[in-house]
Amino acid sequence: MSRHFLIIPGILILLACSTGERPGQEKPWSVRIAESFLATHPDSIVYPTEEKSRKWNYEQGVMMEAFYRMWEHTGDSQYVRYIRMNLDYYIDEDGTIRTYKMADFNIDNIPPGKAALRMFKLTGVEKYRRAADTLRRQLSLHPRTKINGFWHKKIYPFQMWLDGIYMAEPFYTLYAATLEEPKAFDDIAHQITFLERQTRDSKTGLLYHGWDESREQKWADPTTGRSPNFWGRAMGWYAMGIVDVLDFFPQDHPQRDSLIAVLRRLTEAVVKYQDMKTGLWYQVVDLADREGNYREASASAMFCYALAKGVRMGYLDGKFLPAARKAFDGLLKELVTVEERGVVSLHDVCSVGGLGGNPYRDGSFEYYIGEPRRTNDFKGYGPFLLAAVELERQISGEHR
């Protein structure tokens, strides 16, 4: 296959040309990415070599969110069918979620609930609402810090991680809007604004990955409780969480402007660390020149999505759109390959990142750059598809 690049209003579009293709057969990037995923994961959103992915989990949640956005964007019902097929793999007729254990109080288990709630709204089938009710009940019982922030997991007491904002709040907001829980919006706003106050660095404006209220963790600063580094994907989850929460957060709520202000502060800080040459962001965002650091795909895709959507929805100034376009172009140039049969692969996605646990993750620079990288990891591929959709919506003038 030969690779040709075409620039259309600032967005790099890769046209795949191989024997038998005719002019006009080129497809938008969103379609190509989505079709690649469906071709390689036709039956379910799981990794073929990773058994733990066959459990209800957040990576399925971000992929189903991307396919829902594809359905909104294209009107192609195959994407809704794919979401439903994946939900039905886990949700029994009585609404029980197979493999899910509420007693774990793991906030990472909440994101697929957004797809379940949306499927209930589309079909009226009660089992989807019952599954969503179960996850809402987890949030009502979920352990919290003394100042009412959700613990990341029961096994990580008194800890809040930036990742948790994406894990809980978009579902929580959609549920509150759908089932009319007006008081929940106060709680949602508190989770986001409180965590920013605990993790924001006054010098750079960047957010530290985690915060330990107890100050007992080895990774926690004994004075502030903060972890020691700025991990790109953690801030990416946080930014995506805010722009998705705002979709359903009431226009007249007194905290709506505060959420937009948090997003603006973060994006102002993040774009200062965008690599000028490639448009990408580094694994440890502020240490680009340190040996071993690398341009990481998932954080770059997440920031791209949050910036593009923020501009489209009017939360961010239009000056941020070029940064989003540059990021997507950089992903295509630096981290994407296209196989002969047209499968789009995204490389250099950090496979995992966390704090504490066993073996212990200390939040050091060495820890973050030492985690394995994976090709087509869902945590990068989902945001990559979301970013493609957002930039295409910019061009087409879609507003919702």
- Positions marked active-site: 163
Cβ neighbours for 41, distance < 8 A, ≥ 6 positions apart: none
CB 171 within 8 Å of CB 113: yes
Q: What's the gap between Cα 332 and its chain centre?
A: 19
CB 283 within 8 Å of CB 231: yes
Instruction: Answer left, alpha or beta for residue 292, where phi above 0 means left and psi between -120 and 50 means alpha.
Output: left
CB 231 within 8 Å of CB 353: yes
- Taking CA atoms, 7 is separated from 11, 12, 97, 274, 288, in Å, by 6, 5, 45, 21, 28
CB 156 within 8 Å of CB 106: no
The pairing of beta strand 344-346 with beta strand 336-338: antiparallel
- Residue 64 is which amino acid? M
Question: Among 249, 299, 291, 247, which residue's Cα sits nearest to residue 273?
Answer: 299
CB 371 within 8 Å of CB 352: yes
The maximal CA–CA distance of the chain, rounded, in angstroms, is 64
- Residue 314 is which amino acid? G
Question: Among 20, 250, 237, 232, which residue's Cα sits nearest to residue 111?
Answer: 237
Question: Among 56, 60, 135, 70, which residue's Cα sits nearest to residue 102?
Answer: 135
In degrees, rounded to 5, the angle at the alpha carbon of residue 121 between the alpha carbons of residues 118 and 126 is 100
